[in-house]
Structure 1
Amino acid sequence: MMLTTHVLAGLALALPVVVFVPELAPAAVVAGGVGGAFPDFDMYFGHRRTFHFPVYYTALAVPAVGVAVTVPQLLTITVAVGLAAAALHCLMDIFGGGLELRPWEGRSERAVYDHYHGRWIAPRRLIRYDGSPEDLLLAGGFAVPTVLLLDGPVVVLVAVLLGISFVYVVLRRWLADLAPTVFSKVPEPIEEYVPDRYLE
């Protein structure tokens, strides 16, 4: 799914803190956004394998949330929301398309790498591919409660994320056709960092 969808999902995970522990809402919102984005920091090196840990993030998030509910402090809330957002990111990717330049073709059976079991998890394709119309719909679904419960800069951020999402959805298939042309011409020192899928 789109990085923007993951960030919006992370922001939505912070909403219980906004409601029940409002004084810690800013920290929870930042943790949710960063945690939702963090796994995709591996976009250009070992994507969905280097920073994607579907089992470990979840295993850490469950007790962290329990501690945060019991002892709602800055550190416990921040850690719990950040880990939960990272875990949700990885689980969402499982329900999306495979790891390929044109995931609508359904050729890849690699969604997210499971380090615990030492194997790739196959994509479920409920959201057909990142940048699909249903991906945009999901992003909007996460955005609605966030906008209703928060205000100020967060609402502006949500609007920007939805705008970027919309443009990406419109251009997604065209960008896949353009990528091999663009990335085949990068300077040699950078070439080793270009994922193979961008050259398909």
Structure 2
Amino acid sequence: MFTVGAITVKFQFLPAETKFYEWFEKASANVLEAAEALQDLFDHYERVESKVARITELEHRGDFIVHEVMNLLMHTLIIPLDSEDVERLISALDDTVDKIEATAVRMLIFRIEAPTETARQMAHLIRSGASELQMAMPNLREKKNFRLVTEHIKEINTIENNGDLLLREALVDIVNHKDDLFNLIRWKEIYEMLEETTDRMEDVADVLQRVVIKNG
């Protein structure tokens, strides 16, 4: 602790490094829990309001995690990674949960009667990507495990590419079926939200790649 003028700044030393990694792992676990909840919503489309409410709770938890990490950054002198990478990583993880929640909310407010098969496939992709993120995160703690992080990054990139393909197929399908305009608009938005969720996961993977390159 030291004082600058009238301001007292409190710094944490060890185990601050461990705390950062713990928060990364909590954030990735939150992404996985939200992705599992979304998959459950799409696979078992019942009690929609309560399931969406649960996903919203997880989105709020993600916001809390971001707040805690930023607070830790402000009060820690020595951090394990570049501060910019810490901010980008925790923000990208939170953005992923935000997209999951936004998708779930639209299922509710658009009064979707049942998910399409393509939407379910995209939800499963998101669940797979979240699992890769969750498995990658503990390996950031030690350089010897960076190779494992890279393997998970590759899987996430593949998942994002598959998400792009499913989006194109879905958009072609809704246009070809000449659905009513409202149905076209609402499903176009939902499909795009689902695909953007895989984009946000790829953003996390990009930050992980940057961390591996900088610190490997």
The TM tier, using the shorter chain, reads 0.3 to 0.5
In our comparison, the structure showing a higher alpha carbon Rg is: 2
Structure of higher RCO (CA pairs closer than 8 Å, 6+ residues apart): 2
For normalisation by structure 2, the TM-score amounts to 0.33
For normalisation by structure 1, the TM-score amounts to 0.35
